[in-house]
Structure 1
């Protein structure tokens, strides 16, 4: 099964996590507050989800809406939250911050890396809002643990970003492009054939796993439909 494509599903609680795993999710992204596009869950939420499922869990590190890390105090609070999640057993994370000019906020990223040393992590859709995607990748290329970019290819979603995703997939051997592309953000089933044909093997869904929207739980059947389509 080592060549099977990765399906990551957003989970808000243990009920979501159990349904996502039952439907064939390989990994979960744990967040709270999807009204703000996903913020850091509590230690208690992480612990309850960790106890409920045995798939890998990537925990969001983000305390404010948008792609800025916020004020000095916001960054300090984020570092404390990361340390607490590590103490609780979290060992995979998701984060990404830009400065006011749209360049990667390396100071904040390196503060977090000091706390999560040895962990794998995803740089999330901040890349889709960066001034220069290629420059960002080259700046981040040597950071320890970075193995994934969560991206739609464009700020507007996969419909807009598909050409970028296909072009970047073709560069996977170049410096800065070795990390896996995890496609998410307006991803629909009809995008999958072109993405799979280009060799892309990571897919991330949130609302697509929830037939009743964010107010309802993850549906194992919805996840199962994605699993089947990805594997087809």
Structure 2
């Protein structure tokens, strides 16, 4: 198996530089982790892009939760980010009852047409994961699902993750599974042995929590673990 993909959440250029120094392969850019990660300002994206030479996946979400909220505002922000040079994104929307909001997801996907993107952990809060995957099958640009298998995190979602990995290549399951959400170091050996090859970390590389920066040594420790 090739070297696992290691994605780290970055809020600032300082975070980005520490993640890069520690061996991250890709960054997810967000702001406001009190709301579980919202779209960063265009200026913040530009500063991070100038600071590191890593792929940057930019969150497209303007409100807490998984409903789209101000869709016109979100489309405008996506256009502004693209104009600034953003090439990869993170998105995904549900209705109030947990179904895939296909019109909103399609609208934002069209706004970033030609870009690669991740459907984020909204899948873990959906009423029907299989139906969501089926509805999005073949959508241009969608190459990744960020998921822990459960809204409660990897501990609860391991069986779901393993079941979806077993379907890799089937319709609806062609995208890479990026394991994240409650991911701990002790999960990693078993996940690697099962065949998972992409991992997403946020607070686990911030010794002082979300109020503190990413620690390069902590990132390096995860890199070593993933490459073992």
- The two structures have a TM-score, normalised by structure 1, of 0.97
Is 1:193 equivalent to 2:189 in the alignment? yes
Counterpart position of 1:206? 202
Which whole-Å CA distance do the structure 2 matches of 1:134 and 1:200 have between them?
A: 19
Is there any run of 5+ residues in structure 2 with no aligned partner, and where? Answer: none
Compute the RMSD of aligned alpha carbons. 0.9
Question: Any idea what the Cα deviations from partners look like across 1:5-58, whole Å, max 9, x if unmatched?
Answer: 000000001000000000000000000000000000001000000000001000
Displacement of 1:180 in angstroms is 0.3
Displacement of 1:113 in angstroms is 1.8
Which whole-Å CA distance do the structure 2 matches of 1:66 and 1:51 have between them?
A: 30
> Once structures 1 and 2 are overlaid, which stretch shifts more, 54-63 or 109-118?
109-118
Counterpart position of 2:33? 34
Displacement of 1:101 in angstroms is 2.4
Which whole-Å CA distance do the structure 2 matches of 1:195 and 1:133 have between them?
A: 20
Question: Any idea what the Cα deviations from partners look like across 1:92-122, whole Å, max 9, x if unmatched?
Answer: 0001100122111111111112211100000
Is there any run of 5+ residues in structure 1 with no aligned partner, and where? Answer: none
Displacement of 1:141 in angstroms is 0.8
Q: Is the 8 A contact 1:170 1:198 kept in 2?
A: no
Which whole-Å CA distance do the structure 2 matches of 1:62 and 1:221 have between them?
A: 30
Displacement of 1:213 in angstroms is 0.4
1:121-136 matches, cutoff 5 A: 121-136=117-132
Counterpart position of 1:4? 3
Counterpart position of 1:106? 102
Counterpart position of 1:13? 12
Counterpart position of 2:66? 67
1:70-219 matches, cutoff 5 A: 70=69, 74-219=70-215
Displacement of 1:76 in angstroms is 0.5
Which whole-Å CA distance do the structure 1 matches of 2:52 and 2:61 have between them?
A: 23
